[in-house]
Amino acid sequence: MPLNAKQTSQLRAFGGNVRRVRMARKITQEKLAELVDLNIRTIQKIEAGHVNILLTTVLRLRKALGCGWDDLLG
C-alpha cells in the first residue's frame, strides 16, 4: 500500500533526524552501516526518507547512535 503525504513527511523527518544525530556524533554513513549491520545504500535511503524501516532497525540505529527516542522521533 502506498504511503500518504503525512507518512512520507514523517519518514523524511525521521531520516533527517538520523542524519543530524549521525553528523553530530561525527559518524560516517559507512561506519553507521557497519554498526547497524546494514548496507550503506540502506542508510542513505533511510536518511533521505525513502524507505519505511522496521522497529528493530530503529532500535539498532538508536543503539549505534547512542541517542534517545526523542532524538530520532522528535
Look at the alpha carbons of 17, 20, 26, 29 in this order and tell me if their dihedral is positive or negative: positive
Domain holding 51: CATH number? Answer: 1.10.260.40
C-alpha cell belonging to residue 50:
525513502
Please tell me the pTM assigned to this model.
0.94
At 2, which helix (H) or strand (E)? none
Round to whole Å and give the CA distance between 35 and 12: 22
What mean pLDDT value characterizes the chain?
97
- Report the pLDDT value the prediction gives residue 2, as an integer from 0 to 100: 86
70's CB contacts (< 8 A; 6+ apart) are none
- Answer for the pair 12, 49: CB distance below 8 angstroms, yes or no: yes
Q: For residue 74, tell me if it sits in a domain.
A: no
- Report the pLDDT value the prediction gives residue 74, as an integer from 0 to 100: 86
Q: For residue 22, tell me if it sits in a domain.
A: yes
Q: What is the per-residue pLDDT across 9-58, written as a single tens digit (0 to 9) for each? A: 999 999 999 999 999 999 999 999 999 999 999 999 999 999 999 999 99
C-alpha cell belonging to residue 2:
502506498
| Count: domains in the chain | 1
Q: In which domain, by residue range, is 62 found? A: 5-68
